[in-house]
Amino acid sequence: MTRPGAIWREITKNLGRKPATVLYPKERLPIPSNFRGRPVFDPEKCVGCKICERDCPSGVITIEKVAEKTFACTFSLDKCIFCGQCADSCPRKAITMSQIFELAAFKKDSLVDRKAGTPPEPKAQEEEKKDEGQAV
Ligand code: SF4
Ligand code: SF4
């Protein structure tokens, strides 16, 4: 049973204290450095091995080849549990966990995030092939 007067002691103790909450979104608390927010894909680093696709426990990731040595990554973020496994598994560090957490959306479709690399210029591709031919 609560002792009489305990509630008043509690009230007076808390009256002078700063509130524990902030006026979000006007005020923001610092985000911890190890926070796992939206996964971000860097097409420049991806080699298309699909390890991320295989390891994702929620089936969020689809990797597709869009051109020679160029890949696209699609995240269906409505299914993401922000576990960070994709970032841990990627051997090229092509996926990183950002600090972005504001993902509320009215439509599920807007949570599909696709990013594709830019295919190299045809001239650059020819030179690359020539270099590969010389190396053999
Ligand atoms: S954070 Fe986890 S659930 Fe989200 S895409 Fe990466 S592996 Fe999948
Ligand atoms: S694991 Fe990394 S390098 Fe391999 S397909 Fe996924 S993002 Fe690309």
User: Relative to the alpha carbon of 90, which ligand is closest?
Assistant: 2
The length of the chain is: 136
Residues 59-118 have pLDDT tens digits of 999 999 999 999 999 999 999 999 999 999 999 999 999 999 999 999 999 999 999 999
Cβ of 97 closer than 6 Å to ligand 2, yes or no, is no
Which of 125 and 92 is assigned the larger pLDDT? 92
Ligand 1 site residues (CB inside 6 A) read 39, 56-58, 60-61, 75, 80-86
Q: In this predicted structure, what is the pLDDT of residue 13?
A: 87
Q: In this predicted structure, what is the pLDDT of residue 136?
A: 45
Cβ of 60 closer than 6 Å to ligand 2, yes or no, is no
Candidate of 54, 66, 90 to mutate for ligand 2, largest count of ligand atoms within 8 Å of Cβ: 90
User: Relative to the alpha carbon of 72, which ligand is closest?
Assistant: 2
Q: In this predicted structure, what is the pLDDT of residue 73?
A: 98
Ligand 1 center–CA 85 separation, angstroms: 6
Residues 11-55 have pLDDT tens digits of 998 888 988 899 999 999 999 999 999 999 999 999 999 999 999
Which of 124 and 56 is assigned the larger pLDDT? 56
Domains of the chain in start order, with CATH, are 34-101 (3.30.70.3270)
Percent of the chain topping pLDDT 70: 88
Q: In this predicted structure, what is the pLDDT of residue 66?
A: 96
pLDDT of residue 130 exceeding 70, the answer is no
Cβ of 40 closer than 6 Å to ligand 2, yes or no, is no
